[in-house]
Structure 1
Amino acid sequence: MSEKLSLPIGTTLSRFIRERQEQFTYASGELSQLLRDISVAAKVVNREVNRAGLTNILGKHGAQNVQGEEQQKLDVIANNLFIKSLSNGGEVCAIISEEDENITDTQNPHGKYVIAMDPLDGSSNIDVNVSIGTIFSIYRRQSPVGSPVQESDIFQKGTEQVGAGYTLYGSSTMLVYTTGHGVNGFTLEPSLGEFLLSHPDMKIPTKGKIFSINEGSAVDFGQAVKNYVSDCKKNKFKGRYIGSLVADFHRNLLKGGIYVYPSTKSAPNGKLRLLYECNALAFIAEQAGGKSSNGIQRTLEIEPTELHQRCPLYIGSKEMVERAESFIMAGENVEK
Protein backbone atom coordinates (compact mmCIF):
# COMPACT_ATOMS: atom_id res chain seq x y z
CA MET A 1 0.00 0.00 0.00
CA SER A 2 1.36 3.44 -0.88
CA GLU A 3 2.31 5.92 1.82
CA LYS A 4 -0.42 8.24 0.57
CA LEU A 5 -3.11 5.58 1.11
CA SER A 6 -1.75 4.42 4.46
CA LEU A 7 -2.86 7.70 6.08
CA PRO A 8 -6.62 7.83 5.51
CA ILE A 9 -8.83 10.89 5.40
CA GLY A 10 -9.71 11.54 9.03
CA THR A 11 -6.14 11.36 10.37
CA THR A 12 -5.69 14.12 12.95
CA LEU A 13 -2.98 16.72 12.52
CA SER A 14 -1.28 15.59 15.75
CA ARG A 15 -1.16 11.98 14.64
CA PHE A 16 0.07 12.95 11.18
CA ILE A 17 2.89 15.05 12.63
CA ARG A 18 3.87 12.23 14.98
CA GLU A 19 3.93 9.63 12.20
CA ARG A 20 5.96 11.90 9.91
CA GLN A 21 8.39 13.19 12.53
CA GLU A 22 11.29 11.14 11.18
CA GLN A 23 11.10 13.21 7.97
CA PHE A 24 12.11 16.36 9.83
CA THR A 25 15.72 17.40 9.43
CA TYR A 26 15.99 17.77 13.21
CA ALA A 27 13.72 15.04 14.59
CA SER A 28 14.00 15.94 18.27
CA GLY A 29 10.35 16.75 18.87
CA GLU A 30 10.51 20.55 19.10
CA LEU A 31 9.41 21.14 15.51
CA SER A 32 6.48 18.76 15.97
CA GLN A 33 5.42 20.66 19.08
CA LEU A 34 5.86 23.97 17.30
CA LEU A 35 3.46 22.90 14.56
CA ARG A 36 0.96 21.90 17.24
CA ASP A 37 1.34 25.32 18.91
CA ILE A 38 0.59 26.98 15.56
CA SER A 39 -2.50 24.83 15.10
CA VAL A 40 -3.79 25.73 18.57
CA ALA A 41 -3.32 29.45 17.91
CA ALA A 42 -5.06 29.04 14.55
CA LYS A 43 -8.08 27.47 16.26
CA VAL A 44 -8.34 30.42 18.64
CA VAL A 45 -8.02 32.95 15.80
CA ASN A 46 -10.64 30.99 13.86
CA ARG A 47 -13.01 31.30 16.81
CA GLU A 48 -12.49 35.05 16.97
CA VAL A 49 -12.94 35.43 13.21
CA ASN A 50 -16.18 33.42 13.25
CA ARG A 51 -17.76 35.54 15.96
CA ALA A 52 -16.25 38.86 14.90
CA GLY A 53 -19.58 40.45 13.97
CA LEU A 54 -21.02 39.63 17.40
CA THR A 55 -18.22 40.86 19.67
CA ASN A 56 -17.35 44.33 18.36
CA ILE A 57 -13.98 43.28 16.99
CA LEU A 58 -14.66 44.24 13.39
CA GLY A 59 -13.35 47.49 11.97
CA LYS A 60 -10.25 49.58 12.31
CA HIS A 61 -8.01 49.48 15.34
CA GLY A 62 -7.20 53.16 15.02
CA ALA A 63 -3.50 52.81 14.29
CA GLN A 64 -1.19 51.95 11.43
CA ASN A 65 1.32 49.12 11.33
CA VAL A 66 4.95 49.53 10.32
CA GLN A 67 3.92 49.17 6.67
CA GLY A 68 1.81 52.33 6.95
CA GLU A 69 -1.33 50.22 6.56
CA GLU A 70 -4.49 50.72 8.61
CA GLN A 71 -4.63 47.99 11.26
CA GLN A 72 -7.88 46.17 11.81
CA LYS A 73 -8.88 45.05 15.29
CA LEU A 74 -8.54 41.43 14.28
CA ASP A 75 -5.01 42.11 12.99
CA VAL A 76 -3.94 43.06 16.50
CA ILE A 77 -5.87 40.21 18.14
CA ALA A 78 -4.40 37.57 15.82
CA ASN A 79 -0.88 38.95 16.22
CA ASN A 80 -1.11 38.88 20.01
CA LEU A 81 -2.62 35.37 20.05
CA PHE A 82 0.11 33.86 17.89
CA ILE A 83 2.90 35.60 19.79
CA LYS A 84 1.49 34.41 23.12
CA SER A 85 1.02 30.82 21.93
CA LEU A 86 4.45 30.58 20.31
CA SER A 87 6.21 32.25 23.24
CA ASN A 88 4.55 29.98 25.79
CA GLY A 89 5.47 26.89 23.78
CA GLY A 90 9.18 27.42 24.39
CA GLU A 91 10.42 26.19 21.00
CA VAL A 92 10.78 29.68 19.48
CA CYS A 93 13.52 32.13 20.40
CA ALA A 94 12.25 35.00 18.22
CA ILE A 95 9.22 36.04 16.18
CA ILE A 96 9.02 38.57 13.38
CA SER A 97 5.60 39.74 12.32
CA GLU A 98 4.25 41.92 9.57
CA GLU A 99 2.40 43.85 12.26
CA ASP A 100 5.45 44.68 14.40
CA GLU A 101 8.29 47.04 13.63
CA ASN A 102 10.92 45.08 15.51
CA ILE A 103 11.85 41.51 16.40
CA THR A 104 9.91 39.97 19.29
CA ASP A 105 12.25 38.24 21.74
CA THR A 106 10.19 35.41 23.28
CA GLN A 107 12.52 35.21 26.32
CA ASN A 108 13.23 31.58 25.39
CA PRO A 109 17.02 31.63 24.82
CA HIS A 110 17.03 27.85 24.41
CA GLY A 111 14.40 27.94 21.67
CA LYS A 112 15.75 26.45 18.46
CA TYR A 113 13.44 28.12 15.96
CA VAL A 114 12.52 31.51 14.52
CA ILE A 115 9.04 32.26 13.19
CA ALA A 116 8.16 34.80 10.50
CA MET A 117 4.44 35.44 10.10
CA ASP A 118 1.62 37.46 8.67
CA PRO A 119 -0.88 36.80 11.47
CA LEU A 120 -3.94 37.85 9.46
CA ASP A 121 -3.54 38.24 5.72
CA GLY A 122 -6.33 40.00 3.85
CA SER A 123 -7.24 42.62 6.44
CA SER A 124 -9.19 44.73 3.96
CA ASN A 125 -11.65 41.83 3.57
CA ILE A 126 -12.34 41.25 7.26
CA ASP A 127 -15.38 43.49 7.51
CA VAL A 128 -17.10 42.00 4.44
CA ASN A 129 -16.81 38.34 5.47
CA VAL A 130 -14.38 37.30 2.73
CA SER A 131 -11.79 34.57 3.34
CA ILE A 132 -8.64 35.65 5.17
CA GLY A 133 -5.68 33.72 6.53
CA THR A 134 -2.46 33.32 8.49
CA ILE A 135 0.92 32.73 6.80
CA PHE A 136 3.99 31.41 8.62
CA SER A 137 7.60 30.41 7.99
CA ILE A 138 9.79 28.34 10.32
CA TYR A 139 13.58 28.69 10.38
CA ARG A 140 16.15 26.96 12.57
CA ARG A 141 18.24 29.50 14.43
CA GLN A 142 21.87 29.89 13.30
CA SER A 143 23.36 31.26 16.52
CA PRO A 144 24.24 28.94 19.42
CA VAL A 145 21.28 27.85 21.54
CA GLY A 146 21.22 29.85 24.76
CA SER A 147 22.81 32.94 23.24
CA PRO A 148 21.01 36.18 22.30
CA VAL A 149 19.21 36.20 18.93
CA GLN A 150 21.41 37.44 16.09
CA GLU A 151 20.64 39.01 12.71
CA SER A 152 21.86 35.79 11.12
CA ASP A 153 18.91 34.03 12.75
CA ILE A 154 16.45 36.43 11.13
CA PHE A 155 17.85 37.23 7.70
CA GLN A 156 17.86 33.77 6.19
CA LYS A 157 17.01 32.95 2.60
CA GLY A 158 13.80 31.08 1.93
CA THR A 159 15.84 28.01 1.02
CA GLU A 160 16.67 27.69 4.73
CA GLN A 161 13.05 27.20 5.83
CA VAL A 162 12.40 23.96 7.69
CA GLY A 163 8.66 24.46 7.54
CA ALA A 164 6.01 26.81 6.19
CA GLY A 165 2.27 26.95 5.94
CA TYR A 166 -0.92 28.91 6.07
CA THR A 167 -4.33 28.76 7.66
CA LEU A 168 -7.34 29.75 5.58
CA TYR A 169 -10.38 31.01 7.44
CA GLY A 170 -13.13 30.55 4.88
CA SER A 171 -16.24 28.44 4.30
CA SER A 172 -14.18 25.83 6.11
CA THR A 173 -10.97 26.41 8.04
CA MET A 174 -7.89 24.75 6.59
CA LEU A 175 -4.28 24.43 7.69
CA VAL A 176 -1.85 23.65 4.86
CA TYR A 177 1.82 23.07 5.57
CA THR A 178 5.08 21.55 4.39
CA THR A 179 8.32 20.56 6.09
CA GLY A 180 10.05 19.85 2.79
CA HIS A 181 8.41 16.50 2.08
CA GLY A 182 5.34 17.46 0.11
CA VAL A 183 2.30 19.54 1.03
CA ASN A 184 -0.66 18.36 3.09
CA GLY A 185 -3.91 20.09 3.98
CA PHE A 186 -6.06 19.66 7.07
CA THR A 187 -9.64 20.85 7.57
CA LEU A 188 -10.93 21.86 10.99
CA GLU A 189 -13.82 19.71 12.23
CA PRO A 190 -15.58 22.21 14.53
CA SER A 191 -17.50 19.64 16.58
CA LEU A 192 -14.27 17.84 17.47
CA GLY A 193 -11.95 20.84 17.55
CA GLU A 194 -9.46 18.86 15.47
CA PHE A 195 -7.71 19.46 12.18
CA LEU A 196 -8.26 16.34 10.04
CA LEU A 197 -6.27 15.32 6.98
CA SER A 198 -8.47 16.23 4.01
CA HIS A 199 -5.99 17.05 1.22
CA PRO A 200 -3.03 14.61 1.31
CA ASP A 201 -0.02 15.17 -0.94
CA MET A 202 -1.32 18.32 -2.61
CA LYS A 203 -0.06 19.00 -6.15
CA ILE A 204 -0.62 22.14 -8.19
CA PRO A 205 -1.41 21.45 -11.87
CA THR A 206 1.58 22.17 -14.11
CA LYS A 207 -0.70 24.09 -16.44
CA GLY A 208 -3.47 26.38 -15.27
CA LYS A 209 -6.16 28.64 -16.69
CA ILE A 210 -6.58 31.18 -13.89
CA PHE A 211 -4.66 34.43 -13.54
CA SER A 212 -4.97 36.45 -10.35
CA ILE A 213 -3.85 40.06 -10.50
CA ASN A 214 -5.32 43.37 -9.36
CA GLU A 215 -6.20 44.90 -12.72
CA GLY A 216 -7.38 48.01 -10.91
CA SER A 217 -3.67 48.91 -10.69
CA ALA A 218 -3.04 48.24 -14.39
CA VAL A 219 -2.26 51.89 -15.09
CA ASP A 220 0.83 51.46 -12.87
CA PHE A 221 1.98 48.18 -14.44
CA GLY A 222 5.13 48.03 -16.52
CA GLN A 223 4.66 47.20 -20.19
CA ALA A 224 5.93 43.64 -19.71
CA VAL A 225 3.21 42.91 -17.13
CA LYS A 226 0.57 44.51 -19.34
CA ASN A 227 1.74 42.29 -22.20
CA TYR A 228 1.50 39.20 -20.03
CA VAL A 229 -2.02 40.05 -18.88
CA SER A 230 -3.03 40.54 -22.51
CA ASP A 231 -1.52 37.15 -23.30
CA CYS A 232 -3.63 35.54 -20.55
CA LYS A 233 -6.75 37.10 -22.02
CA LYS A 234 -5.86 35.98 -25.54
CA ASN A 235 -5.60 32.45 -24.18
CA LYS A 236 -9.05 32.91 -22.60
CA PHE A 237 -7.78 32.33 -19.08
CA LYS A 238 -10.14 33.19 -16.25
CA GLY A 239 -9.39 36.30 -14.22
CA ARG A 240 -9.95 35.61 -10.51
CA TYR A 241 -8.78 38.03 -7.81
CA ILE A 242 -10.13 37.90 -4.25
CA GLY A 243 -7.70 40.33 -2.67
CA SER A 244 -6.67 37.94 0.11
CA LEU A 245 -3.33 36.43 -0.85
CA VAL A 246 -3.96 33.16 1.01
CA ALA A 247 -7.36 32.68 -0.62
CA ASP A 248 -6.08 33.45 -4.12
CA PHE A 249 -3.06 31.19 -3.65
CA HIS A 250 -5.14 28.34 -2.20
CA ARG A 251 -7.58 28.36 -5.11
CA ASN A 252 -4.75 28.30 -7.64
CA LEU A 253 -2.98 25.54 -5.71
CA LEU A 254 -6.04 23.34 -6.06
CA LYS A 255 -7.16 24.31 -9.56
CA GLY A 256 -4.03 25.56 -11.30
CA GLY A 257 -3.22 29.19 -11.94
CA ILE A 258 -0.86 32.05 -11.26
CA TYR A 259 -0.95 34.83 -8.70
CA VAL A 260 0.88 38.02 -9.67
CA TYR A 261 1.72 41.06 -7.56
CA PRO A 262 4.27 42.88 -9.72
CA SER A 263 6.40 45.91 -9.23
CA THR A 264 4.52 49.08 -10.17
CA LYS A 265 5.30 52.74 -10.63
CA SER A 266 4.08 53.50 -7.12
CA ALA A 267 5.61 50.34 -5.58
CA PRO A 268 8.77 49.48 -7.55
CA ASN A 269 9.59 46.61 -5.18
CA GLY A 270 6.05 45.29 -5.15
CA LYS A 271 3.82 45.27 -2.08
CA LEU A 272 4.20 41.80 -0.56
CA ARG A 273 6.78 41.07 2.13
CA LEU A 274 9.56 38.59 1.37
CA LEU A 275 9.92 37.24 4.92
CA TYR A 276 6.26 37.12 5.95
CA GLU A 277 4.42 36.13 2.79
CA CYS A 278 6.53 35.35 -0.28
CA ASN A 279 9.00 32.84 1.17
CA ALA A 280 6.38 30.72 2.92
CA LEU A 281 4.10 30.44 -0.10
CA ALA A 282 7.07 29.91 -2.43
CA PHE A 283 8.22 26.95 -0.32
CA ILE A 284 4.71 25.47 -0.44
CA ALA A 285 4.37 26.09 -4.17
CA GLU A 286 7.66 24.36 -4.96
CA GLN A 287 6.86 21.41 -2.71
CA ALA A 288 3.55 21.06 -4.57
CA GLY A 289 5.30 21.07 -7.96
CA GLY A 290 4.82 24.75 -8.73
CA LYS A 291 7.15 27.69 -9.05
CA SER A 292 7.71 31.14 -7.55
CA SER A 293 9.89 34.08 -8.55
CA ASN A 294 10.09 37.85 -8.61
CA GLY A 295 9.87 37.62 -12.39
CA ILE A 296 13.60 37.08 -12.79
CA GLN A 297 14.96 35.30 -9.70
CA ARG A 298 13.68 32.33 -7.72
CA THR A 299 11.89 33.70 -4.65
CA LEU A 300 13.60 31.34 -2.22
CA GLU A 301 17.06 32.50 -3.33
CA ILE A 302 16.49 36.22 -2.76
CA GLU A 303 18.81 37.57 -0.06
CA PRO A 304 16.85 39.30 2.73
CA THR A 305 18.44 42.51 3.94
CA GLU A 306 15.55 44.24 5.70
CA LEU A 307 12.93 43.05 8.18
CA HIS A 308 10.03 44.31 6.08
CA GLN A 309 11.59 43.89 2.66
CA ARG A 310 9.14 43.86 -0.24
CA CYS A 311 9.29 41.66 -3.30
CA PRO A 312 7.35 41.24 -6.58
CA LEU A 313 5.67 37.83 -6.72
CA TYR A 314 4.81 35.48 -9.58
CA ILE A 315 3.64 32.20 -8.07
CA GLY A 316 1.62 29.16 -9.04
CA SER A 317 1.54 26.59 -11.84
CA LYS A 318 5.04 26.01 -13.18
CA GLU A 319 4.33 26.63 -16.88
CA MET A 320 2.32 29.77 -16.15
CA VAL A 321 5.08 31.27 -14.00
CA GLU A 322 7.68 30.45 -16.65
CA ARG A 323 5.50 32.11 -19.28
CA ALA A 324 5.20 35.22 -17.12
CA GLU A 325 8.97 35.24 -16.56
CA SER A 326 9.56 35.16 -20.32
CA PHE A 327 7.59 38.41 -20.66
CA ILE A 328 9.37 40.07 -17.73
CA MET A 329 12.82 39.07 -18.97
CA ALA A 330 11.98 40.21 -22.49
CA GLY A 331 10.94 43.55 -21.04
CA GLU A 332 14.19 43.78 -19.08
CA ASN A 333 16.18 43.17 -22.28
CA VAL A 334 14.25 45.85 -24.15
CA GLU A 335 14.96 48.41 -21.40
CA LYS A 336 18.66 47.53 -21.46
Structure 2
Amino acid sequence: MSDETDVLVLGGAGVDTIVYVPELPLPYADSYMIDSGIRTRAGQTGDFVALGLAALGLRTHHLDLLGDDPEGDLVRALHRERGIALTAIPQPAGTKRAVNLVGPDGRRLSLYDTSRAHADDRLPDPVLRSLAASSRHAHVAITHPCAHALPVLRESSVTLSTDLHDWDGEDPYHEPFAHAADIVFLSATALTDPERIMHRIAERGRAQVVVATAGAEGAQLLADGELTRVPAVAPPAPVVDSNGAGDAFAAAFLFGHLTGEPPRRCALYGAVAGAYACTVPSTETAAIGREELLDRAAESAAAMR
Protein backbone atom coordinates (compact mmCIF):
# COMPACT_ATOMS: atom_id res chain seq x y z
CA MET A 1 0.00 0.00 0.00
CA SER A 2 1.38 3.42 -0.91
CA ASP A 3 1.86 6.04 1.78
CA GLU A 4 -1.26 8.13 2.28
CA THR A 5 -0.28 9.73 5.59
CA ASP A 6 2.92 11.45 6.65
CA VAL A 7 2.40 10.97 10.37
CA LEU A 8 0.06 8.67 12.25
CA VAL A 9 -0.47 10.06 15.76
CA LEU A 10 -1.52 7.46 18.31
CA GLY A 11 -3.19 8.34 21.59
CA GLY A 12 -3.33 11.56 23.57
CA ALA A 13 -6.81 12.72 22.55
CA GLY A 14 -8.82 14.47 25.22
CA VAL A 15 -10.21 17.62 26.76
CA ASP A 16 -8.67 20.09 29.20
CA THR A 17 -10.39 22.50 31.56
CA ILE A 18 -8.21 25.59 31.98
CA VAL A 19 -8.13 27.55 35.22
CA TYR A 20 -5.84 30.58 35.54
CA VAL A 21 -4.74 30.88 39.18
CA PRO A 22 -2.96 33.75 40.97
CA GLU A 23 0.10 31.64 41.80
CA LEU A 24 1.54 28.13 41.78
CA PRO A 25 1.66 26.31 44.10
CA LEU A 26 -1.83 27.48 45.01
CA PRO A 27 -2.18 28.14 48.73
CA TYR A 28 -5.16 26.56 50.43
CA ALA A 29 -8.25 28.76 50.62
CA ASP A 30 -11.96 28.13 50.86
CA SER A 31 -12.47 29.70 47.44
CA TYR A 32 -10.86 31.75 44.68
CA MET A 33 -12.53 34.18 42.30
CA ILE A 34 -11.41 33.36 38.72
CA ASP A 35 -11.95 36.58 36.77
CA SER A 36 -10.53 35.15 33.54
CA GLY A 37 -13.13 32.39 33.54
CA ILE A 38 -12.90 28.61 33.60
CA ARG A 39 -12.86 27.20 30.09
CA THR A 40 -12.99 23.73 28.61
CA ARG A 41 -11.49 22.99 25.19
CA ALA A 42 -10.36 19.99 23.18
CA GLY A 43 -6.65 19.35 23.13
CA GLN A 44 -4.27 17.03 24.93
CA THR A 45 -0.82 15.90 23.87
CA GLY A 46 -1.82 13.84 20.83
CA ASP A 47 -4.27 16.48 19.66
CA PHE A 48 -1.60 19.17 19.91
CA VAL A 49 1.00 17.13 18.04
CA ALA A 50 -1.53 16.38 15.30
CA LEU A 51 -2.50 20.05 15.14
CA GLY A 52 1.14 21.14 14.89
CA LEU A 53 1.91 18.63 12.14
CA ALA A 54 -1.16 19.57 10.11
CA ALA A 55 -0.39 23.30 10.43
CA LEU A 56 3.01 22.58 8.87
CA GLY A 57 1.39 20.88 5.89
CA LEU A 58 1.98 17.24 6.81
CA ARG A 59 -0.76 14.71 6.09
CA THR A 60 -1.79 13.67 9.57
CA HIS A 61 -4.08 10.95 10.93
CA HIS A 62 -4.97 10.64 14.62
CA LEU A 63 -6.01 7.34 16.20
CA ASP A 64 -7.32 7.01 19.76
CA LEU A 65 -10.22 5.95 21.95
CA LEU A 66 -13.00 8.49 22.48
CA GLY A 67 -16.21 8.41 24.45
CA ASP A 68 -19.68 9.08 23.11
CA ASP A 69 -19.93 12.17 25.28
CA PRO A 70 -19.70 15.99 25.07
CA GLU A 71 -15.93 15.84 25.57
CA GLY A 72 -15.57 13.43 22.67
CA ASP A 73 -17.68 15.76 20.54
CA LEU A 74 -15.25 18.58 21.28
CA VAL A 75 -12.30 16.45 20.15
CA ARG A 76 -14.10 15.35 16.98
CA ALA A 77 -15.04 18.96 16.21
CA LEU A 78 -11.44 20.15 16.64
CA HIS A 79 -10.16 17.60 14.13
CA ARG A 80 -12.98 18.30 11.70
CA GLU A 81 -12.39 22.07 11.84
CA ARG A 82 -8.62 21.69 11.30
CA GLY A 83 -8.95 19.07 8.55
CA ILE A 84 -7.17 16.34 10.54
CA ALA A 85 -8.25 12.77 9.87
CA LEU A 86 -9.45 11.05 13.03
CA THR A 87 -10.21 7.40 13.72
CA ALA A 88 -12.04 7.21 17.04
CA ILE A 89 -12.36 3.83 18.74
CA PRO A 90 -15.34 3.73 21.16
CA GLN A 91 -14.32 4.19 24.79
CA PRO A 92 -17.14 3.20 27.21
CA ALA A 93 -15.33 4.90 30.11
CA GLY A 94 -15.54 8.24 28.31
CA THR A 95 -13.14 10.72 26.76
CA LYS A 96 -10.00 11.58 28.73
CA ARG A 97 -10.18 14.80 30.74
CA ALA A 98 -7.78 16.95 32.72
CA VAL A 99 -7.79 20.20 34.67
CA ASN A 100 -4.84 22.53 34.07
CA LEU A 101 -4.04 25.15 36.68
CA VAL A 102 -2.01 27.88 34.96
CA GLY A 103 0.03 30.44 36.90
CA PRO A 104 0.81 34.05 35.88
CA ASP A 105 4.24 33.01 34.56
CA GLY A 106 2.74 30.40 32.22
CA ARG A 107 3.67 27.34 34.29
CA ARG A 108 0.98 24.72 34.69
CA LEU A 109 -0.14 21.96 37.03
CA SER A 110 -2.19 19.23 35.35
CA LEU A 111 -4.73 17.05 37.14
CA TYR A 112 -5.59 13.97 35.07
CA ASP A 113 -8.84 12.04 35.45
CA THR A 114 -7.58 8.46 35.32
CA SER A 115 -11.11 7.02 35.54
CA ARG A 116 -11.50 7.64 31.79
CA ALA A 117 -8.93 4.98 30.86
CA HIS A 118 -8.13 1.40 31.83
CA ALA A 119 -5.01 -0.74 31.59
CA ASP A 120 -6.74 -3.22 29.28
CA ASP A 121 -7.81 -0.61 26.70
CA ARG A 122 -6.70 -1.58 23.18
CA LEU A 123 -6.41 -0.09 19.71
CA PRO A 124 -7.72 -2.80 17.35
CA ASP A 125 -4.85 -4.58 15.58
CA PRO A 126 -6.49 -4.58 12.09
CA VAL A 127 -7.09 -0.82 12.25
CA LEU A 128 -3.60 -0.22 13.59
CA ARG A 129 -1.92 -2.37 10.92
CA SER A 130 -3.85 -0.72 8.12
CA LEU A 131 -3.07 2.83 9.26
CA ALA A 132 0.60 2.03 9.96
CA ALA A 133 0.97 0.46 6.50
CA SER A 134 -0.18 3.68 4.87
CA SER A 135 1.97 6.02 7.00
CA ARG A 136 5.55 7.23 6.74
CA HIS A 137 5.95 7.74 10.48
CA ALA A 138 4.04 7.20 13.73
CA HIS A 139 4.18 9.36 16.86
CA VAL A 140 3.12 7.42 19.94
CA ALA A 141 1.68 8.85 23.16
CA ILE A 142 2.61 7.06 26.39
CA THR A 143 -0.86 5.65 27.13
CA HIS A 144 -1.81 2.05 27.89
CA PRO A 145 -3.43 1.39 24.48
CA CYS A 146 -0.29 2.68 22.78
CA ALA A 147 1.94 0.49 24.94
CA HIS A 148 0.06 -2.54 23.65
CA ALA A 149 0.34 -1.18 20.10
CA LEU A 150 4.17 -1.00 20.12
CA PRO A 151 4.80 -4.62 18.96
CA VAL A 152 2.38 -4.23 16.05
CA LEU A 153 4.01 -0.97 15.02
CA ARG A 154 7.47 -2.48 15.18
CA GLU A 155 6.33 -5.25 12.82
CA SER A 156 5.48 -2.61 10.22
CA SER A 157 8.00 -0.54 8.29
CA VAL A 158 6.89 2.70 9.92
CA THR A 159 9.44 4.66 11.96
CA LEU A 160 8.43 5.71 15.47
CA SER A 161 8.77 8.65 17.80
CA THR A 162 7.49 9.18 21.32
CA ASP A 163 7.48 11.83 24.03
CA LEU A 164 8.29 10.59 27.53
CA HIS A 165 7.31 14.00 28.98
CA ASP A 166 8.60 14.47 32.56
CA TRP A 167 9.99 10.94 32.99
CA ASP A 168 12.32 10.59 35.94
CA GLY A 169 14.54 8.12 34.10
CA GLU A 170 13.57 5.29 36.46
CA ASP A 171 9.84 4.51 36.13
CA PRO A 172 9.76 1.22 34.17
CA TYR A 173 6.43 2.06 32.52
CA HIS A 174 8.17 4.47 30.11
CA GLU A 175 10.96 2.12 29.07
CA PRO A 176 9.11 0.17 26.32
CA PHE A 177 8.30 3.48 24.62
CA ALA A 178 11.85 4.80 25.05
CA HIS A 179 13.39 1.62 23.64
CA ALA A 180 10.98 1.10 20.72
CA ALA A 181 11.18 4.59 19.22
CA ASP A 182 13.63 5.84 16.60
CA ILE A 183 13.23 9.42 17.90
CA VAL A 184 12.68 10.07 21.60
CA PHE A 185 11.60 13.36 23.14
CA LEU A 186 11.53 14.00 26.87
CA SER A 187 11.59 16.88 29.32
CA ALA A 188 14.64 17.40 31.50
CA THR A 189 12.42 18.63 34.35
CA ALA A 190 12.62 15.48 36.49
CA LEU A 191 16.09 14.33 35.40
CA THR A 192 19.06 14.81 37.70
CA ASP A 193 21.47 13.73 34.94
CA PRO A 194 19.87 14.28 31.51
CA GLU A 195 23.00 13.32 29.57
CA ARG A 196 23.25 9.93 31.25
CA ILE A 197 19.58 9.13 30.62
CA MET A 198 19.80 10.24 27.00
CA HIS A 199 22.80 8.01 26.33
CA ARG A 200 21.12 5.13 28.14
CA ILE A 201 18.02 5.44 25.93
CA ALA A 202 20.18 5.31 22.81
CA GLU A 203 22.28 2.39 24.09
CA ARG A 204 19.38 0.20 25.21
CA GLY A 205 16.91 0.96 22.44
CA ARG A 206 16.55 1.85 18.78
CA ALA A 207 16.76 5.62 19.10
CA GLN A 208 18.94 7.39 16.58
CA VAL A 209 17.96 10.75 18.06
CA VAL A 210 17.13 11.74 21.65
CA VAL A 211 16.05 15.25 22.59
CA ALA A 212 15.71 16.55 26.15
CA THR A 213 13.93 19.90 26.32
CA ALA A 214 14.46 22.35 29.17
CA GLY A 215 12.13 25.27 28.45
CA ALA A 216 13.85 28.64 28.44
CA GLU A 217 17.21 26.89 28.88
CA GLY A 218 16.91 25.31 25.44
CA ALA A 219 17.41 21.62 24.76
CA GLN A 220 20.04 18.92 24.47
CA LEU A 221 20.27 16.86 21.30
CA LEU A 222 21.88 13.44 21.06
CA ALA A 223 22.36 12.40 17.43
CA ASP A 224 24.95 10.14 15.83
CA GLY A 225 26.46 9.64 19.27
CA GLU A 226 27.19 13.35 19.67
CA LEU A 227 25.56 15.51 22.33
CA THR A 228 24.99 19.17 21.48
CA ARG A 229 23.12 22.02 23.13
CA VAL A 230 20.27 23.70 21.26
CA PRO A 231 19.71 27.29 22.44
CA ALA A 232 16.21 28.49 23.22
CA VAL A 233 14.59 30.83 20.71
CA ALA A 234 13.05 34.12 21.81
CA PRO A 235 9.23 33.96 21.66
CA PRO A 236 7.64 36.28 19.08
CA ALA A 237 5.27 37.73 21.72
CA PRO A 238 4.91 37.74 25.52
CA VAL A 239 4.90 34.31 27.15
CA VAL A 240 1.45 33.51 28.51
CA ASP A 241 1.40 29.72 28.80
CA SER A 242 3.82 26.81 28.48
CA ASN A 243 1.03 24.31 27.80
CA GLY A 244 1.65 22.50 24.50
CA ALA A 245 5.20 23.77 24.02
CA GLY A 246 6.69 20.27 24.11
CA ASP A 247 4.10 18.99 21.66
CA ALA A 248 4.85 21.90 19.32
CA PHE A 249 8.58 21.15 19.58
CA ALA A 250 7.98 17.50 18.66
CA ALA A 251 5.72 18.35 15.72
CA ALA A 252 8.19 20.83 14.22
CA PHE A 253 11.13 18.48 14.78
CA LEU A 254 9.25 15.73 12.93
CA PHE A 255 8.43 18.15 10.13
CA GLY A 256 12.15 18.78 9.69
CA HIS A 257 12.96 15.08 9.93
CA LEU A 258 10.39 14.10 7.31
CA THR A 259 11.52 16.85 4.94
CA GLY A 260 15.13 15.63 5.07
CA GLU A 261 16.72 18.14 7.42
CA PRO A 262 19.64 17.15 9.71
CA PRO A 263 18.89 16.71 13.44
CA ARG A 264 20.35 20.08 14.48
CA ARG A 265 18.08 21.89 12.02
CA CYS A 266 15.12 19.81 13.17
CA ALA A 267 15.85 20.85 16.75
CA LEU A 268 15.96 24.51 15.70
CA TYR A 269 12.52 24.07 14.13
CA GLY A 270 11.37 22.55 17.41
CA ALA A 271 12.74 25.45 19.44
CA VAL A 272 10.99 27.98 17.19
CA ALA A 273 7.66 26.15 17.38
CA GLY A 274 7.94 25.64 21.14
CA ALA A 275 8.60 29.34 21.67
CA TYR A 276 5.60 30.22 19.52
CA ALA A 277 3.39 27.86 21.54
CA CYS A 278 4.29 29.70 24.74
CA THR A 279 2.58 32.82 23.35
CA VAL A 280 -0.75 31.00 22.84
CA PRO A 281 -3.16 31.00 25.82
CA SER A 282 -4.16 27.59 27.17
CA THR A 283 -7.75 28.34 26.28
CA GLU A 284 -6.85 28.37 22.57
CA THR A 285 -5.49 25.79 20.13
CA ALA A 286 -3.14 27.32 17.58
CA ALA A 287 0.10 26.18 15.95
CA ILE A 288 2.79 27.87 13.90
CA GLY A 289 2.47 27.57 10.13
CA ARG A 290 5.16 26.39 7.72
CA GLU A 291 6.08 29.79 6.27
CA GLU A 292 6.44 31.45 9.68
CA LEU A 293 8.42 28.49 11.03
CA LEU A 294 10.90 28.59 8.16
CA ASP A 295 11.24 32.38 8.33
CA ARG A 296 11.84 32.42 12.09
CA ALA A 297 14.23 29.49 11.89
CA ALA A 298 16.25 31.31 9.20
CA GLU A 299 16.37 34.45 11.36
CA SER A 300 17.47 32.47 14.42
CA ALA A 301 20.13 30.57 12.48
CA ALA A 302 21.52 33.84 11.11
CA ALA A 303 21.63 35.36 14.59
CA MET A 304 23.59 32.38 15.92
CA ARG A 305 26.35 32.69 13.33
Calculate the TM-score normalised by the size of structure 1.
0.26
Calculate the TM-score normalised by the size of structure 2.
0.28
Higher Rg = 1
Higher relative contact order (CA 8 A, sep 6+): 2
